[in-house]
């Protein structure tokens, strides 16, 4: 069973506003696969090519691209709001 909390944590940690759409898609795919199959799976031969292929499919399909960018936007906004909150309390 996938670890949803691990997936969310990876997105919170890795999605930033300065990434391209392709890089955002790669981060989402990487986080999903690592959460589902574990860290060792990410070290297997061909993993980077698989992430690249899936990310390409996401960014070239208008509906998938829209969905991925919407997810990324939510996490980036939440990260930005968290940083503002930390800065204001410091």
Do 25 and 66 touch, CB atoms closer than 8 A? no
The pTM of the full predicted model, rounded to 2 decimals, is: 0.84
User: Can you give the pLDDT at residue 89?
Assistant: 59
**Mean pLDDT throughout 17-24?**
95
Chain centre to alpha carbon of residue 51: 11
**pLDDT tens track for 28-70:** 999 999 999 999 999 999 999 999 999 999 999 999 999 999 9
**pLDDT tens track for 1-13:** 558 999 999 999 9
Do 37 and 8 touch, CB atoms closer than 8 A? no
Tokens of 2: 């996938």
Segments making up each domain of the chain, as ranges: 4-89
Do 25 and 53 touch, CB atoms closer than 8 A? no
> Phi/psi class of residue 46: alpha, beta or left (left: φ > 0; alpha: ψ in -120 to 50)?
left
pLDDT score of 83 more than 80: no
User: Can you give the pLDDT at residue 40?
Assistant: 95
Number of H helices, E strands in the chain: 5, 0
């Amino acid at each position: 069973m996938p670890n949803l909390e691990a997936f969310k944590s990876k997105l919170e940690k890795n999605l930033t506003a300065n990434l391209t759409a392709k890089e955002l898609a790669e981060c989402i795919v990487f986080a999903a696969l690592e959460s589902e199959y574990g860290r060792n799976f990410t070290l297997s031969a061909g993993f980077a090519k698989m992430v690249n292929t899936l990310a390409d499919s996401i960014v070239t399909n208008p509906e998938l691209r829209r969905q991925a960018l919407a997810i990324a936007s939510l996490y980036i906004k939440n990260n930005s709001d968290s940083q503002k909150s930390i800065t204001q309390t410091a």
